[in-house]
């Protein structure tokens, strides 16, 4: 099926770090408005706005205390409405973050819920008795420790899959579900263009709340009891019918662990659940013994296998989201590229490898400039609740990592790498604020910034602009059939796309090794885009981190 959200390029804004209009050091909505022309010039179609709702900010806005109010840090509802209008005037759509697996513990529903066992809101959350003076079961929180928090007021525990300030909502409760759909309709009636749904495959839990076995650690990840649970498809179909179906909007679900079969159920054209999903299998290929904190070198064959599995898996039914970067990932150019010797080439190469895949591409703020990871020196440079909890658990309590090992992990993979302020120019604070930025700015802003790239034909920014333009012009990039070549090659990722009588050959080099590659039927083709100029011949020379797209 041909639809607009398959033909769009989406740009993710992390409002706190995008642009500060009033110099309090925090990015805000007026700041975003002031940069809409920049986004228009880049050519994107849709903005995904990370949460801008009222929140005590334990997890930077993913802990919402009022779904229908704008955070004072970011502005007012009038500012939001102005953003929507100004974006629409420029033909840019706005997709909001929908965080409904949990709320903040400062949400009115939870304040009520925790008071007494017979409070009308009690059942909006998941409350259980302790067992032998301990938690109700051995489930672990994603942010370390137990997933249960004891609450003295009623001598019971509540479930929190994330921080203890993010209690999980009880989707078994029909009144709660109706409240959420009503809130969604309220935003849709304002004219927003869709939702990115936070950890949406966790809203249905297996109701037995049993221990994860065999028990090898004190607390165990409860994935099989909380991911893609028994009523998930029923809930999403209901949400679709009651909130989404009367609007022409798009949805993307964050689905942390799922199979191709499940993904087809979530995103298939005739399922009426979601339009597309973020899955993270390709983000797991370089994780080691303690996950992201102990990364291992990239195995490109493995990465190609995962990307290809999803390309083939959703080729005809369902739809992929394409991303390297977001607010939960380190910067891909630091992770899979080479920022020392081949910074610009590797940023363009990664963009090429991704933007020619089938699916809807996402650009995370700063990715279009080749922004890199931050050189963290100590915990004082960090902001993220995930880092502090993991440090406490792995370094202080379990003592399985030393301080130095953990700092290495933080530099490689902490979410804060993505959250440093946007680098607009080479002036004070990178043009992000005239005040004191809420988070330190990457010291490389003097060389890596928007101003130096916008009018430079060779810049990473200009390269992204061209990639977006090509996608808008060429249906083959949106709808063409994907085929992997050179499956076992350790450094080159090469694939083709085919549509009607057209063909594209995409060649990307994930290494500093150089290769000669025979083009065969493409040797009379035309170079569509590349990060190095070459003449098309029978055999081409592939430069370190080279990227070439040849059209036939
Ligand atoms: C998602 C968000 C992440 C947040 C978590 C809990 O994974 O992307 O930033 O911490 O959900 O809401
Ligand atoms: Ca501000």
H or E segment to which residue 125 belongs: none
Q: Is 63 in the pocket of ligand 1 (CB under 6 A)?
A: no
Q: What percent of the chain has pLDDT over 70?
A: 100
Q: Which of 467, 496, 524 is the last residue of a domain?
A: 467
Confidence at residue 451, expressed as pLDDT on a 0 to 100 scale: 98
Tally of CB atoms within 10 A around 180: 19
Helix (H, G, I), strand (E, B) or coil at 262: helix
Contact between 163 and 140 under an 8 Å Cβ cutoff? The reply is no
From 162, 364, 418, mutation site for ligand 1 pocket: most ligand atoms within 8 A of C-beta = 162
Ligand 1 centroid from CA 218, angstroms: 24
Does some domain include residue 169? Answer: no
Residues 295 and 150 in one domain: no
Helix (H, G, I), strand (E, B) or coil at 453: helix
Does some domain include residue 472? Answer: no
Calculate the dihedral angle through the C-alpha atoms of 427, 428, 434, 438, rounding to the nearest 10 degrees. Answer: 120
pLDDT band at 1 (very low <50, low <70, confident <90, very high): confident
Nearest CA to ligand 1 atom 9: 328
From 48, 62, 160, mutation site for ligand 1 pocket: most ligand atoms within 8 A of C-beta = 62
Q: Is 162 in the pocket of ligand 1 (CB under 6 A)?
A: yes
Ligand (nearest to CA of 21): 2
Q: At 155, which CATH number?
A: 3.90.400.10
Return d(Cα 148, Cα 126) in angstroms, integer: 10
Active site residue 458: no
Q: How many CA atoms lie within 13 A of 536 on its CB side?
A: 19
Per-position DSSP letters for 477-519, written without gaps between them: HHHPEEEEE-TT-SSEEEEEEEETTEEEEEEEE-SS--EEEE-
Mean pLDDT in residue range 209-218:
96
Ligand 1 atom at minimum distance from 385 CA: 10
Mapping DSSP onto H, E and C, the string for 65-120 reads CEEEEECCCCCCHHHHHHHHHHHHHCCCEEEEEECCCECCCCCHHHHHHCCCCCCC
Residues 313 and 295 in one domain: yes
Residues 142 and 17 in one domain: no
Question: Which residue from 116, 128, 121 is spatially nearest to 153, judged by alpha carbons?
Answer: 116
pLDDT band at 226 (very low <50, low <70, confident <90, very high): very high
Does some domain include residue 60? Answer: yes
Residues 261 and 124 in one domain: no
Does some domain include residue 339? Answer: yes
**Number of separate domains in the chain:** 3
Ligand 1 atom at minimum distance from 59 CA: 10
Residues 82 and 212 in one domain: yes
Return d(Cα 258, Cα 277) in angstroms, integer: 10
Ligand 1 atom at minimum distance from 326 CA: 8
Mean pLDDT in residue range 178-205:
98
- Tokens 């029923």 locate to 234
- Give pLDDT tens digits for 124-154: 999 999 999 999 999 999 999 999 999 999 9
Does some domain include residue 475? Answer: no
Q: Is 62 in the pocket of ligand 1 (CB under 6 A)?
A: yes
| Active-site option among 73, 193, 198, 367 | 198
Residues 51 and 155 in one domain: no
Nearest CA to ligand 1 atom 4: 62
Residues 362 and 272 in one domain: yes
| Active-site option among 151, 254, 368, 491 | 254
Q: How many CA atoms lie within 13 A of 515 on its CB side?
A: 20
From 61, 321, 328, mutation site for ligand 1 pocket: most ligand atoms within 8 A of C-beta = 328
Mapping DSSP onto H, E and C, the string for 269-330 reads CCCCCCCEEECCHHHCCCCECCECCCCCCCCHHHHHHHHHHHHHHCCCCCCEEECCCCCCCC
Ligand 2 centroid from CA 18, angstroms: 10
Residues 395 and 492 in one domain: no
Mean pLDDT in residue range 74-90:
98
Does some domain include residue 476? Answer: no
Confidence at residue 434, expressed as pLDDT on a 0 to 100 scale: 98
Measured CA angle at 156 (ends 230, 144), to 5 deg: 65
Residues 142 and 64 in one domain: no
Q: Is 97 in the pocket of ligand 1 (CB under 6 A)?
A: no
Q: For all residues of the chain together, what is the average pLDDT? A: 98
Residues 114 and 95 in one domain: no
Does some domain include residue 189? Answer: yes
Q: Is 45 in the pocket of ligand 1 (CB under 6 A)?
A: no
Residues 142 and 254 in one domain: no
Residues 131 and 61 in one domain: no
- Tokens 């989707």 locate to 171
Confidence at residue 348, expressed as pLDDT on a 0 to 100 scale: 99
Q: At 529, which CATH number?
A: 2.60.40.1180
- Give pLDDT tens digits for 480-527: 999 999 999 999 999 999 999 999 999 999 999 999 999 999 999 999
Question: Which residue from 65, 44, 67, 68 is spatially nearest to 55, judged by alpha carbons?
Answer: 65
Confidence at residue 523, expressed as pLDDT on a 0 to 100 scale: 97
Contact between 314 and 1 under an 8 Å Cβ cutoff? The reply is no
Q: Which of 467, 493, 508 is the last residue of a domain?
A: 467
- Give pLDDT tens digits for 384-415: 999 999 999 999 999 999 999 999 999 999 99
Does some domain include residue 196? Answer: yes
**In degrees rounded to 5, what are phi and psi of residue 128?**
-140, 155
Q: What percent of the chain has pLDDT over 90?
A: 99
Return d(Cα 492, Cα 457) in angstroms, integer: 26
Nearest CA to ligand 1 atom 2: 198
Ligand 1 centroid from CA 346, angstroms: 28
Q: Which of 467, 489, 520 is the last residue of a domain?
A: 467
Domain that holds residue 497: 481-551
Given CA atoms 446, 449, 453, 455 in this order, what sign does their dihedral have?
negative
Ligand 1 atom at minimum distance from 143 CA: 10
Confidence at residue 393, expressed as pLDDT on a 0 to 100 scale: 96
Q: At 291, which CATH number?
A: 3.20.20.80
Return d(Cα 499, Cα 315) in angstroms, integer: 13
């Amino acid at each position: 099926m041909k639809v607009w959200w398959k033909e769009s390029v989406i740009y993710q804004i992390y409002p706190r770090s995008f642009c500060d209009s009033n110099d309090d050091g925090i990015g805000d909505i007026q700041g975003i408005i002031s940069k809409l022309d920049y986004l228009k010039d880049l050519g994107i179609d849709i903005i995904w706005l990370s949460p801008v709702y009222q929140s005590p900010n334990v997890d930077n806005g993913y802990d919402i205390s009022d779904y229908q109010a704008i955070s004072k840090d970011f502005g007012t509802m009038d500012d939001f409405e102005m953003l929507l209008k100004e974006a629409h005037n420029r033909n840019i759509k706005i997709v909001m973050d929908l965080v409904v697996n949990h709320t903040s513990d400062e949400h009115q529903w939870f304040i009520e819920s925790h008071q007494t066992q017979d409070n009308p809101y009690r059942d909006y959350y998941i409350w259980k008795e302790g067992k032998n003076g301990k938690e109700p079961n051995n489930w672990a929180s994603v942010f370390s420790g137990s997933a249960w928090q004891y609450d003295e007021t009623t001598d019971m525990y509540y479930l929190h899959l994330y921080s203890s300030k993010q209690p999980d909502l009880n989707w078994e409760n029909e009144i709660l579900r109706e409240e959420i759909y009503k809130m969604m309709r309220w935003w849709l009636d304002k004219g927003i263009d869709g939702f990115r749904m936070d950890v949406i495959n966790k809203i249905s839990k297996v109701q037995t709340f049993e221990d994860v076995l065999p028990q090898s650690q004190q607390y165990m990840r409860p994935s099989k009891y909380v991911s893609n649970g028994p009523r998930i498809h029923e809930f999403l179909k209901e949400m679709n019918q009651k909130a989404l179906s009367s609007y022409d909007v798009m949805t993307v679900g964050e689905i942390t662990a799922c199979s191709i079969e499940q993904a087809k159920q979530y995103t298939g054209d005739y399922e009426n659940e979601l339009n597309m999903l973020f899955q993270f299998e390709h983000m797991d290929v370089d994780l080691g013994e303690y996950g992201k904190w102990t990364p291992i070198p990239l195995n490109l064959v493995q990465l190609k296998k995962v990307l290809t599995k999803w390309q083939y898996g959703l080729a005809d039914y369902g739809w992929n989201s394409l991303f390297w970067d977001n607010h939960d990932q380190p910067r891909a150019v630091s992770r899979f590229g080479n920022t020392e010797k081949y910074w610009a080439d590797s940023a363009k190469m990664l963009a090429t490898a991704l933007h020619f895949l089938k699916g809807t591409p996402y650009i995370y703020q700063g990715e279009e400039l080749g922004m890199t990871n931050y050189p963290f020196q100590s915990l004082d440079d960090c902001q993220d609740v995930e880092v502090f909890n993991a440090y406490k658990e792995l370094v202080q309590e379990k003592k399985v990592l030393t301080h130095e090992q953990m700092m290495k992990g933080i530099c490689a993979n902490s979410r804060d790498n993505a959250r440093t302020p946007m680098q607009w120019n080479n002036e004070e604070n990178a043009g992000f604020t005239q005040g004191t930025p809420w988070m330190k700015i990457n010291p490389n802003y003097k060389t890596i910034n928007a101003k130096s790239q916008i009018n430079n034909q060779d810049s990473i920014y200009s390269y992204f602009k061209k990639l977006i333009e090509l996608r808008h012009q060429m249906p083959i990039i949106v709808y063409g059939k994907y085929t992997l070549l050179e499956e076992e090659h350790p450094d080159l990722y090469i694939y083709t796309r085919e549509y009607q009588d057209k063909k594209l050959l995409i060649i990307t080099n994930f290494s500093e090794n150089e290769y000669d590659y025979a083009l065969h039927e493409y040797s009379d083709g035309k170079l569509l885009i590349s990060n190095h100029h070459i003449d098309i011949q029978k055999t081409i020379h592939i430069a370190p981190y080279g990227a070439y797209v040849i059209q036939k």
